[in-house]
Chain A
Amino acid sequence: DVKVTQSSRYLVKRTGEKVFLECVQDMDHENMFWYRQDPGLGLRLIYFSYDVKMKEKGDIPEGYSVSREKKERFSLILESASTNQTSMYLCASSFQGTSNYGYTFGSGTRLTVV
């Protein structure tokens, strides 16, 4: 069964900590994405990557960075976590080009920054 795996379902971190959220996909997808989901705001794109070592800013990249050293792995980094980064983080992947299936998503990581 193909899947996108996020390393943690729940995380609690302290303000100022450096936080790594990991995402791995086994579908050989070129594209990978990080979204954050907040009530009333839907899903907002933080960063995405269309190839190894390539990255593009999404709509809300401030306070975040990403790393993609291997095709299957896409990491989201919070350099210095703040309470306003408490949220649900969703990773997704897709093939390049048009697709009738959109993205495949992971189960999400619910991050709380205290």
Chain B
Amino acid sequence: AQKITQTQPGMFVQEKEAVTLDCTYDTSDQSYGLFWYKQPSSGEMIFLIYQGSYDEQNATEGRYSLNFQKARKSANLVISASQLGDSAMYFCAMRESTGFQKLVFGTGTRLLVSP
């Protein structure tokens, strides 16, 4: 079964600095997708970035980039130039490649950005 591990319950960063949120995954599938979501205090899950297992380039979306290391089974999220509005919970997720292709989520990392 697929599994996502986020080992950082909380992270602190100062405004304008970069921060890396860790995510490792476990799967025996060759084809899979990896996602990062942001959950502000309002509760809604906001899609940030996607990486396919066959994508050769690391995904980037504005200030977000995904450091994809397939051999190490890691998919870390890098946020550059942190802003106060980045304070939120961040979840890493993996889409199953078989069956109903459900998303499996990690336990999340709470990021706090200080002025």
Contact = CB atoms under 8 A, between A and B. Distances in A.
Q: Tell me whether A and B are bound partners.
A: yes
A106 B47 CA distance: 12
Q: Which of B37, B43, B93, B107 has the most CB of A within 10 A?
A: B43
A42 B91 contact: yes
A110 B100 CA distance: 27
A100 interface: yes
A102 B102 CA distance: 9
Contact of A102 (B43, B50, B107): B50
Contacts of B107: 40-42
Nearest to B107: A42
Interface of B: 4, 6, 9, 33, 35, 37, 42-47, 50, 52, 91, 93, 95, 100-103, 105-108
Q: Which 5 pairs across A and B sit closest by C-beta, in order of nearness? A: A108-B43, A105-B45, A42-B107, A43-B105, A107-B44
20 contacts: A35-B105, A42-B6, A42-B91, A43-B93, A44-B105, A45-B102, A48-B100, A50-B100, A56-B100, A88-B43, A90-B45, A92-B45, A98-B95, A100-B50, A102-B95, A104-B47, A105-B45, A105-B46, A106-B44, A107-B42
